[in-house]
Structure 1
C-alpha cells in the first residue's frame, strides 16, 4: 500500500483501531512482539520494509477509533464511508492524461495550502481535548475565526506533520494550551519550538494558556515539564533538546492566561477573554500583546 502511495499517489486512509499512534510509529508493545516473531521466519530486509511501512502510515492522518463518538464504531464506519465516497467522486481526474492530471493536482495542492488559517491551536491529552480545548475551538469558530484543527476531516489521508508545520508557518496567532502533561509529547514540543521561531522571524503572536499549571513551572526545566522532556532525550539530538528548552523558557515567560486565576478558574470566562483578544489582534495586528 505504501509503495503504491509513494509511486502512484494512491490514497491511504489508516484506521488506528484501539492502538496508540506512538506504538505504531515506534513499533512498541504488540507491534514489537509480532515483528520479533516474524524476524525468526523472514529475512531482515522484509522485516525492515514492514517497519518502514508502519512508520510511514502512522504519519498519515487517519481515524483514531477511540476518539470518534467516544469509541462508537457505527459512527466511525459512517465517517469512513463518507470519506471514501467523497474520494471516489473526484477520481475522474485519474482518467485524464498524466500532464493534465499533474497540473490539476498541483493546482489543488497549492490552493489547499494557501488556505488562510488565522489561529493554530495546540494541546495535549484527552482531558484537555474533550473539555477546555474543544470548548475554545468551538467558540473561536463561532466567532468566524479560521482555526487549524488537527481533527479536521479534510486532513484525512494527508501527512499530518507537514500540515501542522504549514499551518504554524501561515497562522497569524498560535495558542498553546500548556497543561500538566504537555511536555510528555515530543510533537507538542516541536510545535512549540516552531511557534517561537515564527514569532522571532515573522512577528507572529503566541498567546499561551497555562491550564492548571504555573508559568514558572513551564519555564523551569527542572520541574515536571523538564522531567517529561527527559523521556525523549535519548530519541533526539542535543540541538533539538536545547530548542525545546528555549521554547519552554520563552513561552513560560510570555504574557498569557493562567486558567486558575481567571474568575476563580471559571473556564467560560477564560474562553470569552481569549476569543476577544484574538479578534482584537486580528483586527488590529499592529497593537500590543495582551495586558
Structure 2
C-alpha cells in the first residue's frame, strides 16, 4: 500500500447496531468539538456486499484508528475487513490503533470467545478459510494493544474525555511530513505479530501484581510512554 498524506486525524471503526446512536455518537461529537478531524461512516451498510471503496481510503489517510469492539462487532464482515486494513496500516506505516472494549472483555476479542466465537462459527461455514484466519489474527493483534474497557456503571463521559486528551497529545508528537518517509509493503505478506512492548505489557500484567507491574512500566518506560490502569485495563497515555 502506497503511503499517502493524512486527511483525517481519526478513523472510527464500530458496529452500527451496537454503538452508533450512543457511545460512538458521543465520542464523535467530542472529537469534532476538540478540532480532531474524524471519519465516521454514517451509511447503512448492506449485508453480504464488499467493503465500500471510501472506507479503506479513509483508513489509509488517517493518523489514528479507534476500534470500538462490541457484542456484534465480529458478526459484520465489513467491520472485520476494516480491522484487517487498520492492522495493515499499523504495521506498514505506524498507524496508531486504540481499541475500546464496549461491554465485552478484552479476552473475548483476543481469543474469539462467547459472542465472537458464535460469529466465527457462522463465518467458517460461509467464508473462505484463509480469510477467516486473517480476520482472527487481526482481532488478536488489536486486542493486545493498550486501550479502554467500558463496563456497566463506568462513566462513558469520563472515558471519552480521556480518549480525546490522548489523541490530542499524540497528535502533537506526530511529525507533519511522516508520510514521505514511509516504506511500501506488500499487503499479502503482512503478518500480525505484536510489537515487543505489546508483548511485554501483556506478559507482565498477566503474571505479576498490578502495583508491581505499574512500578515496572513507570520506572523503565517513562517519560516516552506511560501505562496507567483505567477501568480494569491498561489504558494508553501520551
| TM-score (normalised: structure 2) | 0.66
Report the counterpart of residue 280 of structure 1 in structure 2: 169
Give the unaligned 5+ runs of structure 2: 44-49, 176-223, 227-235
Question: Superposed, which structure 2 residues align to 1:130-141 within 5 Å?
Answer: 130-141=21-32
What CA distance in whole angstroms lies between the structure 1 residues aligned with 2:225 and 2:56?
A: 26
| Deviations, residues 104-134 of structure 1 (Å, cap 9, x unaligned) | xxxxxxxxx9771111001113341100100
Question: Superposed, which structure 2 residues align to 1:1-291 within 5 Å?
Answer: 116-151=7-42, 161-260=52-151, 264-285=153-174, 288=225, 290-291=236-237
In structure 2, relative to structure 1, the CA distance for the partners of 1:283 and 1:143 (3 Å cut) is: same
Once the two structures are TM-superposed, the CA of residue 251 in structure 1 deviates from its matched residue by: 1.2
What CA distance in whole angstroms lies between the structure 1 residues aligned with 2:37 and 2:81?
A: 22
What CA distance in whole angstroms lies between the structure 2 residues aligned with 1:165 and 1:187?
A: 11
What CA distance in whole angstroms lies between the structure 1 residues aligned with 2:108 and 2:170?
A: 27
Q: Which has the greater radius of gyration?
A: 1
Once the two structures are TM-superposed, the CA of residue 220 in structure 1 deviates from its matched residue by: 1.3
- The answer to whether the Cα contact below 8 Å between 1:125 and 1:181 also exists between their aligned partners in 2 is no
- Give the secondary structure class of the aligned counterpart of 2:165: helix
What CA distance in whole angstroms lies between the structure 2 residues aligned with 1:256 and 1:123?
A: 15
4+ aligned runs moved over 4 Å, structure 1 = 286-289
Give the unaligned 5+ runs of structure 1: 1-112, 153-158
Once the two structures are TM-superposed, the CA of residue 142 in structure 1 deviates from its matched residue by: 0.4
- Give the secondary structure class of the aligned counterpart of 2:174: coil
Once the two structures are TM-superposed, the CA of residue 288 in structure 1 deviates from its matched residue by: 4.2
What CA distance in whole angstroms lies between the structure 1 residues aligned with 2:170 and 2:5?
A: 21
| Deviations, residues 120-171 of structure 1 (Å, cap 9, x unaligned) | 001113341100100000100000111012128xxxxxx9711000011111
What CA distance in whole angstroms lies between the structure 1 residues aligned with 2:102 and 2:61?
A: 25
Higher relative contact order (CA 8 A, sep 6+): 2
- Give the secondary structure class of the aligned counterpart of 2:8: coil
Q: Which protein has the bigger strand share?
A: 2
What CA distance in whole angstroms lies between the structure 2 residues aligned with 1:243 and 1:194?
A: 11
| TM-score (normalised: structure 1) | 0.55
In structure 2, relative to structure 1, the CA distance for the partners of 1:115 and 1:125 (3 Å cut) is: same
